[in-house]
A and B are shown apart, each in its own frame.
Chain A
């Protein structure tokens, strides 16, 4: 009997230890199994997660930017437009607090895609960034054609965007801030208009930065 209690206590201890193991963020999006052969010809199954595909856009300095710029970095991405008078100011007020927290950290970047392909040319984005108080390359504001940007939003970042002449400013979109890891996988999506969710994003970014892959 005494032995039993001892084992039970030991078991509980083990369980407790397992629970305090390194915290990990979930990996979001569809996944598929890929079967490959290792060096000895044995088959093994890998899980392949959804990743953000490569892209090519102009940034606020009219320089062409691809995903190479985000290699070995985690980043926060969103979709907005400069003349948006509803949720964008809140999203970027909140995103700016994250930017301020990680400013100068070489492992962290920010990426805002404009969905206003008519008006938000690089020079407009540049002025907007400066007025927001963002200078330098750590926060990229990217301009691209409608088809590419909208499909990237919907298919890859899983953010709904659309042109809508009935909407206040001509476009509607969701206010997600999407967290991407160093392997281009989606690790979280947070409502950028809510300060609690933005605080959660900040602490999740610390977890993601501490993650050993």
Chain B
């Protein structure tokens, strides 16, 4: 009786330890990616304020018809893989944002590295009412190979 009890007790301990280990791994992974995302957001915000805010506004509101707002979540999502090219090489083509056509010229930011572009992209796509999650510098590198 006591032997059976002992075995089952040991089993319980082993299983629960195993379970705890698993959940510890999952939890630590989650917080590592959260920390990564927070880092992207905060660096991205610095880049945004220094380089983009003059035209796009502190709240992503844009500037008249001279610079479009960054609040059209659908546009940003549909054109996600083009954004890195827009930022790195500049852009001047008609764009439909909030149903309005903008055609102006955005300058190229040749000096921004893939990581900077990824960070500023994560910032704009998770601010001003957007919530689109992470975008890594590896994805930026891939996107930049397909610029027109």
Closest Cβ of chain A to B65, distance in Å, is: 4
Q: Name A123-143 residues within 8 Å CB distance of B.
A: 128, 130-133
Interface size of A as a range: 10 to 19
**Interchain CB contact under 8 A, A131 and B65:** yes
Chain A contacts for B69, CB-based, 8 A: none
Chain B contacts for A93, CB-based, 8 A: 54, 57, 63
B residues bordering A, Cβ < 8 Å? 54-55, 57, 63-67, 104-105, 107
**Interchain CB contact under 8 A, B104 and A89:** no
For B63, give its contact among A83, A89, A168 (CB under 8 Å).
A89
**Interchain CB contact under 8 A, A132 and B54:** no
Residue A47 is within 8 A (CB to CB) of chain B in the complex: no
**Interchain CB contact under 8 A, B66 and A90:** no
A85, A92, A96: most-surrounded residue (chain B CB, <10 A)? A85
For B66, give its contact among A87, A131, A168 (CB under 8 Å).
A131
**Interchain CB contact under 8 A, B64 and A131:** yes
Residue A86 is within 8 A (CB to CB) of chain B in the complex: yes
CA distance A128 to B67 in the complex (A): 11
For B64, give its contact among A85, A86, A132, A168 (CB under 8 Å).
A132
> Which residue of chain A is the closest to B105 with respect to CB atoms?
A83
**Interchain CB contact under 8 A, B107 and A132:** no
